[in-house]
């Protein structure tokens, strides 16, 4: 048991010191993910004959949408804290800095789906404004998202967040300072499972892109695939504070919505392509 504790304390560390600054491990892994994702997308864009600078701009702008979208959805899942804050405003807020601290508490986390939706909105608006071929651009970008997510979930595991349910198989968190109640309980490594599934999804989408299969449908294929992964993955999550409705978590409800929209889009595109073929026979 002592050996297990020592081992786990070595592989789980939410922060590390660099040049006198405390750096969150999740932030580092996310930056690595963005960098690797960017390299992959730019390489594929160049192979397809596109200007990779266009994709760099899209990624940078979408990253802003990812940041704000992720934090906004996290705040929505903590709606109970927002109600509590405004109901007891005079108790908690005595100055501007008190308000900032409360805002950090409410918006301090990030939800992947919020970031995904925020990034999609910004990317879509920019591509439309520049009159880019949305189908071709989204096909190239699609495999990069699960590649980024692969690194992000490793960051979650190292940081001890997005933890799994109590399990006879798994790892024990010992240093989660934000949620001490989860410490010293053996939990299923759901972060690593999702990381692995994202990596598999990346290779599948990368293969489809390389072989030019499902042209114009890769992004919807990603959304469809990940929504299924996330829906069932949620049953293994132990951080139940993220909000529930009708027995389903916030992410499961979003997964159902994305799944249905993806199916409708793929069916529509399939019928559209069939009609196009018939008119050219």
Pick out the residues of the known binding site: 153
**Cβ–Cβ < 8 Å for 256, 226:** no
For 18, the enclosing helix (H) or strand (E) is: strand 15-18
Output the CA torsion 56→62→63→67 (10° steps). 170
Structure tokens at 103: 């805002």
246: its two tokens = 């009708």
Secondary structure in 3-state letters for 203-254: HHHHHHHHCCCCCCCHHHHHHHHHHHHHHHHHHHECCHHHCEECCEEHHHHH
Helix axes 79-87, 52-77, angle to 10 degrees: 60
For 7, which DSSP code?
H
Listed in sequence order, the DSSP H helices in the chain are 2-11, 25-47, 52-77, 79-87, 89-92, 96-107, 112-130, 134-141, 144-159, 190-210, 218-233, 250-279
Q: Are 194 and 172 in contact (CB under 8 A)?
A: no
Please, what's the largest Cα pairwise distance for the chain? Answer: 73
């Amino acid at each position: 048991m002592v050996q297990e504790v020592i081992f786990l304390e070595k592989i789980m560390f939410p922060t590390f010191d660099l040049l006198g600054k405390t750096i969150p491990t999740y932030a580092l892994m996310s930056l690595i993910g963005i960098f690797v994702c960017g390299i992959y997308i730019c390489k594929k864009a160049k192979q397809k004959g596109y200007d990779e600078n266009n994709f760099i701009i899209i990624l940078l702008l979408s990253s802003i949408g990812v940041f704000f979208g992720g934090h906004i959805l996290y705040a929505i899942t903590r709606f109970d804290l927002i109600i509590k804050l405004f109901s007891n405003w005079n108790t908690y807020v005595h100055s501007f800095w008190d308000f900032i601290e409360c805002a950090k508490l409410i918006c301090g986390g990030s939800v992947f789906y919020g970031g995904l939706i925020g990034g999609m909105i910004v990317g879509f608006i920019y591509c439309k404004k520049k009159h880019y071929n949305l189908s071709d651009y989204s096909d190239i970008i699609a495999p990069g998202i699960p590649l980024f997510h692969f690194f992000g979930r490793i960051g979650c595991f190292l940081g001890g967040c997005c933890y799994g349910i109590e399990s006879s198989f798994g790892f024990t968190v010992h240093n989660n300072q934000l949620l001490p109640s989860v410490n010293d309980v053996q939990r299923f490594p759901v972060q690593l499972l999702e990381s692995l599934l994202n990596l598999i999804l990346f290779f599948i989408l990368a293969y489809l892109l390389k072989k030019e299969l499902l042209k114009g449908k890769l992004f919807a294929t990603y959304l469809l695939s990940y929504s299924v992964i996330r829906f069932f993955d949620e049953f293994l999550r132990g951080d139940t504070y993220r909000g529930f409705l009708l027995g389903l978590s916030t992410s499961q409800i979003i997964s159902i919505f994305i799944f249905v929209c993806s199916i409708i889009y793929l069916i529509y595109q399939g019928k559209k392509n069939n009609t196009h073929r018939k008119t050219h026979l």
